[in-house]
C-alpha cells in the first residue's frame, strides 16, 4: 500500500502550469478536492501534507529543490518516516505517453527523467511506483527542455485536469497500487 505520494515539478510561478509540473498539478487537484492545505517544511525542503483520504493515512510532498534535485527531499522524507521504496508513488510527466494517457508501473529506470534519476540515486533503489502522466513529445526537431518547461495548449491543460479528476475519483485504486485497473482506466473515461 502507498504511504507517500510525491509530485514532481519545479517551484515558482513561472513553472506553475508547465508540462514538467504534471506531478505538482495532480497533487494540487488532490489537495483541493479533499480540502487539504499545503505547509512548507524546511526540514524536508518540500511542501507537505499529512492526511487521511478515504481512511488511508498518507504523506503528500512537492519537493521544492527543483526537478533535478528531487531525490534530496524524497530521501529526507523516506528516512524520517522509515518508509520502504515500494510504499512510495512518484507522479511525474512522461514524454513517451501521449497527452491524456497514464501508466502506473513499479520499478524500472529513469528513461532520461532527471527527477526520477535523482530519486533513484538518493534511495539507491528503483523499486517504487510511478504514475506516468502523458505529455507527448515536441514536434520533430523540437527542443525537449523547452517543450517540458512550456505550458501545454488550452486543450492539453484541460485534458490534464480531466485526467487528474478521473484519478482522484478512483483514488483507492491508486493508493492500493492496482495497476491493472488504473492502466485500463484512461483515456476511455475521458
Task: Enter the pTM of the model.
Answer: 0.94
Q: How many angstroms separate the CA atoms of 108 and 181, rounded?
A: 20
Task: State whether the Cα torsion 133-139-142-147 is positive or negative.
Answer: negative
| Burial zone of 149 (CB within 10 Å; 0-12 exposed, 13-18 middle, 19+ buried) | middle
CB 102 within 8 A of CB 185: yes
Q: Are 181 and 173 spatial neighbours (Cβ–Cβ below 8 Å)?
A: yes
Active site residue 122: no
Q: All domains of the chain, ordered by start, with CATH?
A: 4-185 (3.40.50.1470)
Block means of pLDDT (10 residues each) for the chain, 190 residues, are 96 96 98 97 98 95 96 97 96 94 88 91 95 92 92 95 91 82 62
> For residue 41, what are the β-bridge partners?
46
Amino acid at each position: 500500500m502507498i504511504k507517500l505520494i510525491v509530485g514532481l515539478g519545479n517551484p515558482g510561478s513561472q513553472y506553475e502550469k508547465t508540462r514538467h509540473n504534471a506531478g505538482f498539478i495532480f497533487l494540487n487537484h488532490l489537495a483541493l478536492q479533499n480540502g487539504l492545505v499545503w505547509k512548507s517544511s524546511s526540514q524536508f525542503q518540500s511542501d507537505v501534507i499529512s492526511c487521511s483520504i478515504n481512511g488511508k493515512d498518507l504523506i503528500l510532498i512537492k519537493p521544492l529543490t527543483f526537478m533535478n534535485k528531487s531525490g534530496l527531499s524524497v530521501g529526507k522524507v523516506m528516512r524520517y518516516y522509515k518508509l520502504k521504496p515500494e510504499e512510495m508513488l512518484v507522479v511525474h510527466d512522461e514524454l513517451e505517453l501521449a497527452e491524456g494517457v497514464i501508466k502506473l508501473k513499479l520499478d524500472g529506470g529513469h528513461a532520461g527523467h532527471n527527477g526520477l534519476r535523482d530519486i533513484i540515486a538518493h534511495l539507491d533503489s528503483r523499486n517504487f511506483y510511478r504514475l506516468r502522466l502523458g505529455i507527448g513529445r515536441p514536434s520533430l526537431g523540437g527542443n525537449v527542455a523547452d517543450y517540458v518547461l512550456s505550458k501545454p495548449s488550452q486543450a492539453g491543460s484541460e485534458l490534464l485536469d480531466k485526467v487528474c479528476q478521473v484519478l482522484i475519483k478512483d483514488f483507492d485504486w491508486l493508493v492500493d497500487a492496482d495497476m491493472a485497473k488504473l492502466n485500463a482506466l484512461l483515456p476511455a473515461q475521458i
